[in-house]
Amino acid sequence: MKQRQLEILLQQVPPPQNPTPNLEQYMTPAPIAADVLFTAYQWGDIEGKTVVDLGCGTGIFSVGAAYMGAHVVYGIDIDKKSIALAKEYAGSKHLSIKYNAQEVTEVTTRCDTVLMNPPFGAQKGNQNADRRFIEKGFEITDVIYSLHLTKTVPFLEKMIRALHGEMTYQKDYDFPIKWTFPFHEKKVMSYPVTLLRIQTHKSTSIHVKEPQP
């Protein structure tokens, strides 16, 4: 499957219904999700692997992982409505994905690869949410692919080193967020975000920074 084909398929994944501000339920745009998935595929972290989509929402990463040949795919999110939508959509496409409504700190499912777009921590009651997701990733996997606000990357790099892991790859994107909540001031706002590939143990991998085209 080509990246553009995957992007078209991911555009069909339904968005969350009645999203909650404090959960920061902003769906990963299909072009970014497809690029993240192809990056993980090229590193050998998708095909034939057990993959967890942590904070899956309606399942854009888990659906993509299934299309890209993952052996087993789990989607985990605290929001039961999003999980119900994800199950319904995966079923309609005959994709075998195991979805579960669960708080991130309670997840114990071991896997080869974690894919996630955790909350950015923009809401006052949701600060450090991305930290909880990374810490959980270190508990359940060897490799994490995670999207974060670019301005937080220096802090996250220190955190990852403290957890005895390392960032082995970075790539920058402009992440558009459409008007969703009354406090949004514009129809679309773009935020600089960075994809991090994280090894949860020290390795000899080369640290690569790929600038945004």
| pTM for the whole structure | 0.88
Distance CA 114, CA 133 (A): 10
| CATH architecture label of 3-12+29-202 | 3-Layer(aba) Sandwich (3.40)
Q: Do 113 and 51 touch, CB atoms closer than 8 A?
A: yes
Per-residue pLDDT tens over the stretch 68-112: 999 999 999 999 999 999 999 999 999 999 999 999 999 999 999
Nearest to 50 by CA among 118, 142, 163: 142
> Domain-by-domain residue ranges, the chain?
3-12+29-202
Percent of the chain with pLDDT over 70: 83
**Residue given tokens 């892991």 in the structure block:** 165
Q: Do 117 and 146 touch, CB atoms closer than 8 A?
A: yes
Handedness of CA 48, 194, 5, 55 (dihedral sign): positive
Per-residue pLDDT tens over the stretch 3-58: 999 999 999 999 988 766 565 667 899 999 999 999 999 999 999 999 999 999 99
Burial of 105 (0-12, 13-18, 19+ CB in 10 A): exposed
